[in-house]
Amino acid sequence: MSDGEHIAEKRAGGKAAAYQVLARKYRPQNFDDLIGHEAMVRTLKNAFAADRIAHAYILTGVRGVGKTTTARILARALNYVGPNGEDNGPQMELSEEGRHCRAIAESRHPDVLEMDAASRTGVSDIRELIEGVRYAPVEARYKVYIIDEVHMLSTAAFNALLKTLEEPPPHVKFIFATTEIRKLPVTVLSRCQRFDLRRIDPEVLTEHLAGIAEKEAVKIDRDGLWMIARAAEGSVRDALSILDQAIVQHTAQKEDAALGAEAIREMLGLADRSGVWDVLNAVMTGDAKTALAGFRTQYDAGAEPAVILRDMLDLVHLLTRTKVAGDDAAAHGPAGEADAARAKEMAASFEMNALTRAWSLLMKGLTETNMAPDPAAAGEMALIRLAFAADLPTPDEALKALKKNRENGPRETNPARPVAPLQNETAPQAEEASPPAQTAQIIDILPPLSQRPLDQNSSGDGPWLRCFDDVVRLAGKHRDAKLRTELEAYVHIISFAAGRIDLRLHDDAPEGLANRLAQRLKLWTGQQWIVVVTAKEEGAATVRDRRYAEVMADPLVQKALELFPGAEVTAIREPDLASEPAPDDMEEEPPVDPDDELPEIDAAENKRGNP
């Protein structure tokens, strides 16, 4: 026996045949083998049954979901001829291998041409393809062009393809596959029938892996298969590649022993699920020490910091869904019933605001962990930040407390926290700084005029506008932000009285401002107002300029500018008035009696009011 015959005999016996990875060995051969793409298969079946087959298809999706495989199956369906030569046209039923099926599946059919656009991107390659379009197929019904990673083609190549793609000969079909659908010109997309291949759900992928493991006579725990499906992120090819690696792990064990989830976790570098629950519970209760210890245990066992934070995000999402949708949603997490009991318990222990805050902080921590030179340190800092945030009030709690403090009156200064004098400053200078503290207290007790409620006039038919500041405030109350801004910046008041306003407009004032002001005042007060514009008198300073001058004259502001040389006041903002009642809902308040106490407040009011 010659050496060639010996080699052929060994190959015939399968002893010298190269090992075929699972991703190629179990590649789908017909539409029934495809998993997770039922909508696409149903659409194609209807199109074939109605003889409405498009001339160009484009398949898009992440890597490993079956784009190229689907393209080859579609090419088989278009050119299907029975094994005995019976030709009933394109067929979706491919359970029985046809005359052209084997050659198409092995990419050696002369009428099904596959082109990798990643390596053939130029216009010359497309011109070569176009030259072959004019010729009829050699054996099959259609000449099918499969272009993989079509988004890699150059702009010139796309332009050269457009006309042929729009009006191809009746014997030509195009099938494109891409992972970057947004990189394709819209002129190409509009000429194709598009199918989006979704990621495969972990549950569906787990069932698929279980069936393949059974065919390979490999015992793997269900939890281990679920971990593989989750690590694959919806890609069947990635899942089968990981399963290949797990089978190698199984060969080192006894044949009757199943490969456990712990071995899969160590192989993938995943975090222990129960340990992640403990870490999350620790940070949500403010126990940073326990959280760091659990994180370090996971990290030392081989889990990546980013993986730990991602698992915590999954759990926070599960808790939030459980709290919103009820206990039935607890079993819909990544681990199914395994996490249901603990999810129900923890969801009842934490408020919704705390869960949403945890989600935001973990998302920020995950971003920092992926970018940090030391991911472990970034992960620990994220946990510390989340643990200490657990003791802080949520935004709505802080707003409620602030509102309650305002209703109960001004806060008293805390005698236990005196203001320390600045360095290189003598005691008399510290005493001189006391008046600004008193001024700050007066401002805290008595808000500026623009924040005080508007009084009703004696007839009760509208707000009693005491000065132009009240007009500006009324515009803010009615959510007319544009008018309020223009009144503050462009109006110089000459005189103000009930029903009449004399003013001078700034040179940059918008056209029609006075008319719009008169119309708004009539609408808001129910009274006719006369707005007179004159250019003869200078008038008072604008509200914006006056406010800036008042702020700059404040001793506290002056002291702050002294402490920070070079600092500038770039913006002056008043507290948000959105929470205050609208003018129609305000209670009546009698006018201020000039004989009342606090005369200095009246002086401040007169300073802000009529000039």
Last residue of a domain, one of 222, 251, 268: 268
User: What is the domain-level CATH number for residue 37?
Assistant: 3.40.50.300
- Considering the domain architecture, whether residues 339 and 311 belong to the same structural domain is answered as yes
- Considering the domain architecture, whether residues 229 and 336 belong to the same structural domain is answered as no
- Considering the domain architecture, whether residues 288 and 383 belong to the same structural domain is answered as yes
Environment class of 586 (CB within 10 Å of its CB; exposed 0-12, middle 13-18, buried 19+): middle
pLDDT per position as a tens digit, 274-289: 788 889 888 988 888 9
- Considering the domain architecture, whether residues 257 and 190 belong to the same structural domain is answered as no
14 pLDDT more than 60: no
User: Which pLDDT score is estimated for 554?
Assistant: 81
Q: Considering Cα of 351, then 352, then 353, then 355, what sign does the dihedral take?
A: positive
Cα distances (angstroms) measured from residue 464 to each of 13, 61, 162, 540, 588: 103, 65, 71, 21, 10
Task: Report the C-alpha gap between 31 and 114 in whole angstroms.
Answer: 20
- Mean predicted confidence (pLDDT) in 326-340: 64
User: What is the domain-level CATH number for residue 261?
Assistant: 1.10.8.60
- Considering the domain architecture, whether residues 458 and 366 belong to the same structural domain is answered as no
CA 245 to chain centre: 34
Last residue of a domain, one of 196, 230, 251: 196
Task: Report the C-alpha gap between 226 and 206 in whole angstroms.
Answer: 5
pLDDT per position as a tens digit, 159-196: 888 989 988 999 999 999 999 888 899 999 999 999 99
Last residue of a domain, one of 143, 177, 196: 196
User: Which pLDDT score is estimated for 331?
Assistant: 63
Could you tell me if residue 406 is inside a domain?
Answer: no
Could you tell me if residue 394 is inside a domain?
Answer: no
Name which of 526, 517, 531, 528 is nearest 462 in CA terms. Answer: 526
For residue 253, the enclosing domain spans 202-268
Could you tell me if residue 219 is inside a domain?
Answer: yes
User: Which pLDDT score is estimated for 337?
Assistant: 57
User: Which pLDDT score is estimated for 93?
Assistant: 87
pLDDT per position as a tens digit, 255-277: 566 777 777 777 776 666 678 88
- Considering the domain architecture, whether residues 34 and 96 belong to the same structural domain is answered as yes
- Mean predicted confidence (pLDDT) in 9-38: 75
Q: Are 47 and 53 in contact (CB under 8 A)?
A: yes
Could you tell me if residue 34 is inside a domain?
Answer: yes
Could you tell me if residue 402 is inside a domain?
Answer: no
Task: Report the C-alpha gap between 191 and 55 in whole angstroms.
Answer: 9
Could you tell me if residue 437 is inside a domain?
Answer: no
Could you tell me if residue 2 is inside a domain?
Answer: no
Q: Report the number of distinct structural domains present in the chain.
A: 4
- Considering the domain architecture, whether residues 228 and 360 belong to the same structural domain is answered as no
Could you tell me if residue 403 is inside a domain?
Answer: no
User: Which pLDDT score is estimated for 377?
Assistant: 93
Task: Report the C-alpha gap between 243 and 133 in whole angstroms.
Answer: 42
Supply the mean pLDDT for the chain.
77
- Considering the domain architecture, whether residues 40 and 167 belong to the same structural domain is answered as yes
- Mean predicted confidence (pLDDT) in 202-220: 87
- Considering the domain architecture, whether residues 167 and 35 belong to the same structural domain is answered as yes
- Considering the domain architecture, whether residues 381 and 286 belong to the same structural domain is answered as yes
